[in-house]
Structure 1
Amino acid sequence: MYRAYGRWAEEFGVDARELPRYIGMPSESISALLVPGRSQYAADRIEQLEVEDTDGVQAMPGAAEAFAALPEGRTAIATSCTAPLLEARMRVAELPLPPVVVTRGDVVNGKPAPDSFLLAAERLGTTPERTLVVEDAPAGVAAARAGGFPVLGVLSSQTPEGLRADHHVKDLSRVRWEVGDEVIRARLVED
């Protein structure tokens, strides 16, 4: 992702140092803010660069174990990327796609608006207060909070102060998933 966005920034004359604050937002939103007047072309180009460059994409530590531990009908992915990009990344990372997937094409307003999380919860048949959002981007945490979801922040590229989630873990290997009939508990493991 960072390599593709770096190439994109160079092509469009954008200062790459500006990009980290937009992580987690849809590429259309980033393009509209940073490349006004050519935003659709810029969004299409970053999509192309990201789909073509999945070299080095790998699952976060603990992600495969989380997918294995969590029941299929009780998990979802709500992402700011497109379906083709999500599928490419999941395939390269060797992670399964859950039955409930919400991509930027499914909602009008991308993150930091809560629309994608609200739609995922609706499709799962649950409510925000009963749904844990796991996020590693500030825009995603803001979206979850705006929707009334509790948030577990994964510190893959941010500090706790930058994410502002309810709880933080270094990565998903620090979480033990306890599955019950009505509730799934995320138990955080100390370092």
Structure 2
Amino acid sequence: MKYVLFDVDGTLIDAVSNQRRVWGTWAQRYGLDPDEVYRVALRTRPMETFAQVAADRDAGECLAVLHELEDDDVRTGVYTAFDGASELLRNLPWGAWALVTSNYEHRVRGRFLRTGLPVPDVIVDAAAVEEGKPSPMPYLRAAARLGAEPGHCLVIEDAPSGVRSGLRAGMTVWGVNAPDPVEGVHRHFLSLREAAPHILARMSDPEGTAAV
């Protein structure tokens, strides 16, 4: 049996404007330049972002404020699933796919509810692992919970850290929703819609003859 492990933000759900708005509001709370803060946040995890842009502030307080803003955005923000996401997920065999996210499960569930996407049984979030992407641990944890061997898993990602995570886990990694391929991906697609038929074909190929 084959399995598909999906990143969420940037892969299934377009959350760029939401992330920019949340970080912009956070920056204003601390009297910082929103554009500069967002540039740093795109490259680093929250605690690393705080260390760079607000080293004189209490990191725990910074994180609590960020979480408050993110939770509020899940309740009130406008979210959009990428074209083809709903159809793709509904056509995958139940129990053969999972979500692997650097966010938290309650926010993912809220976003999926807002966009009408089906929610799988397995969600590996930031609280489920000690090391996040680009560590292989998130994808290895998802495979273990599905009862899957890493070599039987296809990872769908949009970001370099997620691609590295999937590759380090020993999985096939396809990139989506980017004009240029992320270094290391086995296949690259401009959009999730373009990738969807190839994902479904790979899942329905019992002999493993579909292109990697």
Q: What interval of TM-score do these two structures reach, taking the shorter chain for normalisation?
A: 0.7 to 0.9
CA contact (8 A) 1:141 1:153 kept: yes
Residues 94 and 120 in structure 2, CA contact (< 8 A), matched pair in contact too: yes
Map of 1:2 onto structure 2: 20
C-alpha distance in 1 between matches for 2:209 and 2:190: 18
Asked if 2 retains the 8 angstrom alpha-carbon contact of 1:118 and 1:128, the reply is yes
Distance 1:92 1:32, change over 3 A: farther
One-letter amino acid matched to 1:61: D
* Residue segments in structure 1 that go unaligned for 5+ positions in a row: none
Alignment of 1:1-80 (within 5 A): 1-12=19-30, 13=32, 15=36, 16-22=38-44, 25=45, 27-32=46-51, 34-36=53-55, 38-54=58-74, 55-80=77-102
> RCO higher in 1 or 2 (8 Å CA, sep ≥ 6)?
2
Extract unaligned runs of 5+ from structure 2: 1-18
- For 1:6 and 1:63, the matched residues in 2 are separated by 28
Change (3 A) 1:124 1:34: farther
Identity of aligned residues (%): 30
Provide TM-score, normalisation by structure 2.
0.75
1:86 aligns with 2:108: yes
**How far apart, CA to CA, are the structure 1 residues paired with 2:84 and 2:192?**
4
SS of corresponding position for 1:61: coil
Q: Work out the CA distance in 1 between the residues paired with 2:183 and 2:104.
A: 23
Asked if the contact 1:131/1:149 (under 8 Å) is kept, the reply is yes
Does 1:152 pair with 2:174?
A: yes
Q: Over aligned residue pairs, what C-alpha RMSD do you find?
A: 2.6
Corresponding residue for residue 204 of structure 2: 180
Q: Deviations over 1:68-99 (max 9, x none)?
A: 11111100001111112111111111111100
The 5-angstrom pairing of residues 99-178 of structure 1 reads 99-155=121-177, 158-162=178-182, 164-174=184-194, 175-176=196-197, 177-178=200-201
Equivalenced residues, count: 183
